[in-house]
Amino acid sequence: MSERTFVMVKPDGVGRRLIGECIRRFERRGLKLVGMKMQIISQKLAESHYEEHRARPFFPHLVQFITSGPTVQMVWEGKDAVAQVRKMNGATNSLEAAVGTIRGDFGLSLQNNMIHASDSIETAKREIALYFDQNELLEYAMPDAHWLS
């Protein structure tokens, strides 16, 4: 079933010039980009985004890291998009991420793992609403949609 997922290229992904690489992979897979923006996120937004990790010891460092530079927010749409993007990003710890995934191909760090993606459809809805207004998300048809169904 077609669904939407939220993806963010983190400050290390931007700093390592991997924005295009991430987009290329999701496009090539057959997913459709329906929203995109770039911003240095505020402390408040970072804390809301990572609310579930508030009690973890790494929370302050995580917020410091995610607000430390530019990030790119995207919404990707397609069949089973949430699970497929998670698979394409690889395990949270880049050292454990399979080769062929974004983290497994470009990283060695747990904290600096270059990219974030929603872990469920419910999380995706929450994260999309956190970063995008409804009118910033586009609805349009792709000519190859019938080959990807």
Catalytic residues: 116
Assigned token pair, 91: 């395990």
> Is position 113 an interface residue for ligand CMP (rule: CB under 6 A)?
yes
Build a one-symbol-per-residue string for 44-73: x at contacts with ligand CMP by CB under 6 A, - elsewhere. ---------x----x---x-----------
Contact 74, 36 (CB under 8 A): yes
Contact 8, 73 (CB under 8 A): yes
SS3 call for 112: coil
Build a one-symbol-per-residue string for 69-98: x at contacts with ligand CMP by CB under 6 A, - elsewhere. -----------------------x------
> Is position 123 an interface residue for ligand CMP (rule: CB under 6 A)?
no
45-48: long-range contacts at Cβ-Cβ below 8 A with a sequence spacing of 24 or more?
45/130, 45/131, 48/130
List of residues contacting ligand CMP (CB under 6 A): 53, 58, 62, 92, 110-111, 113, 116
